[in-house]
Amino acid sequence: MTRTLYGILLTLLSPLLVIYLWLRGNKDRRYRQRWSERFGLARWQPAHVLIHCVSMGETLAAQRLIETIQQRHPNLKLCITCSSPTGSKLIQTRFSNVQHSYLPFDLPWAVARFTQQLAPQLTIIMETELWPNLVHQLKRRQCKLVLANARLSEKSSGQYQKWPKLTHPMLASLDAIAAQTKAESERFVDLGVAPKRCHVFGSLKFDISIDADTQKAAHALTEQLKRPVWVAGSVHPDEFDAILAAHQQLLDTVPQALLIMVPRHPERFEQAKQLVAAGPMYWQAWSQSQQVDDDTQVVIGDTMGQLLRFYGVAHCAFVGGSLMERGGQNPLEPAAFAKPIIMGPSQYNFLEIGLQLRQAGALVQVNDAHSLAAQLQLWLTDADAASNAGQAALSVVARNQGAVDKHYRLLSHYLADINA
């Protein structure tokens, strides 16, 4: 398939994009807002640098890199785009003095209008959010393109191989790729990217830092609770039953244990509440009260931006998206708090990171509610074992840091050439 044919097909299917946004709006009304941005009909001010972070996770990973660029190049105008409402809220909360927008769908006319108005001289795309028409329009305007914190699984590489006329010109347009691992860098080379354009810098997610306010809030909640706590973070609906079943089993041996369950997506908060309300355990919603009663057994974390605080309170943490085929969410968040980590078998989003944590004894893999409960019991009743695993997790984070500096050194050459 050529890019021209791809553009025609996407245009013909564009009514489905409207239906998609409308249906997503049934659970999160923000998907029914700001459509002019998604279809390239908004107005944008020129920006020197475009940074695209598809959602909240990529935005968090890019935060320190973006802050470094802002600090060292205060004269440059930045535009940060994303594709999800949660990512949008985070961008608006975390970054000042930047232009923000949803990235338009990859419709030919939409990205043409977007890139013409924005006119960036450098575009930084996080991870693997590559779109053929967007890349084409940026390159025809002589914009430098860098793929940062790049990931490319074997499966994704195979998909790229199926459509060489579409993907190879897109990849050839990239001026530099900063891959997370050597294996991913080699996959890009196998797809035709010049080796001199591929670099291995590790993951930006290792450069996580816990701000003082989050640490203070976590300490205050720890002082309030003073009981065994485990956090199930970024969990998906297909995991709710297993997590609640594991906690029910855990209560037989650790009756004072408290579960803080944080759904991955805000539109799933109500589903989680309804499920726990239908069971036998005492529960409360964090949005209703930040004072946890002594007889509460489950807290549903139903407010955005609190997950790091909850990880700071935990004696151990389960990281969601891993008991079903979602590839797992970010285990480095609890690791940065020196917390022992539990995940299910699906970890393809963090293969290298998960391997390092497992080899260090910081992460234990479980397969179901029963094995989850057994590992929870071990770490909630053996403080030394939990502490050793937590310190091992923190050590893995510490020895892998430095990706922000490596990324910035690469980007500095392009930033210096910007005509501001």
Range 107-125 average pLDDT: 98
Q: What is the dihedral of CA 263, 268, 269, 275, to 10 degrees?
A: -90
Answer whether residue 176 shows pLDDT above 90: yes
Mean pLDDT throughout 86-91? 93
Indicate the residue type of 308: L
Q: What is the pLDDT of residues 184-240, one digit of tens each?
A: 999 999 999 999 999 999 999 999 888 899 999 999 999 999 999 999 999 999 999
Q: Which two tokens stand for residue 99?
A: 């232009």
Q: Is the pLDDT of residue 10 over 80?
A: yes
Query: With a threshold of 0.85, does the pTM exceed it?
Result: yes
Enumerate residues 6+ apart whose C-beta is below 8 A from 158: none
Please confirm, yes or no, whether 333 is among the known catalytic residues.
no
pLDDT at 289 over 80: yes
| pLDDT of res. 27 | 84
The percentage of the chain sitting over the pLDDT mark of 90, rounded to a whole number, equals 91
Nearest to 311 by CA among 392, 230, 205, 389: 230
pLDDT score for 111: 98
What is the edge-to-edge ordering of all strands in the sheet holding 122-126?
99-102, 78-82, 49-52, 122-126, 144-150, 176-179, 198-200
- pLDDT at position 1 is 84
pLDDT at 34: 97
Overall average pLDDT of the 14-29 stretch: 94
Integer Rg of the chain from CA: 22
What is the predicted pLDDT for the residue at 205?
A: 94
Q: What is the pLDDT of residue 304?
A: 86
In the numeric block, the tokens 């209008």 are attached to 113
Stretch among 93-97, 258-262, 360-364 having the lowest mean pLDDT: 93-97
Torsional sign, CA 129, 135, 138, 139? positive
Residue ranges of domains in the chain, CATH in brackets: 3-203+402-416 (3.40.50.11720), 212-399 (3.40.50.2000)
- Quickly list DSSP for 355-385: HHHHHTT-EEE--SHHHHHHHHHHHHH-HHH
In whole angstroms, what is the distance from residue 389 CA to residue 127 CA? Answer: 29
Residue burial 206-240, b: 16+ Cβ < 10 Å; e: rest: bbbeeeeebeebbeebeeebebbbbbbbbbbeebb
Which of 37, 58, 127, 239 is catalytic? The answer is 58
Whether residue 297 is predicted with pLDDT greater than 90 in this model: the reply is yes
pLDDT value, residue 420: 77
User: How far apart (Å, rounded) are the C-alpha atoms in residues 228 and 216?
Assistant: 19
How far apart, in Å, are the Cα atoms of 270 and each of 31, 82, 275, 361, 418?
A: 18, 25, 9, 35, 47
Tens digit of each residue's pLDDT (9 = 90 or more) over 49-66: 999 999 988 999 999 999
Long-range contacts of residues 348-353, Cβ cutoff 8 Å, at least 24 apart: 348/153, 348/155, 349/151, 349/321, 351/153, 352/180, 352/181, 352/183, 352/203, 353/203, 353/205, 353/206
Q: CA neighbours within 13 Å on the CB side: how many for 249?
A: 17
Q: Nearest 10 degrees: CA dihedral of 291, 293, 298, 304?
A: -10
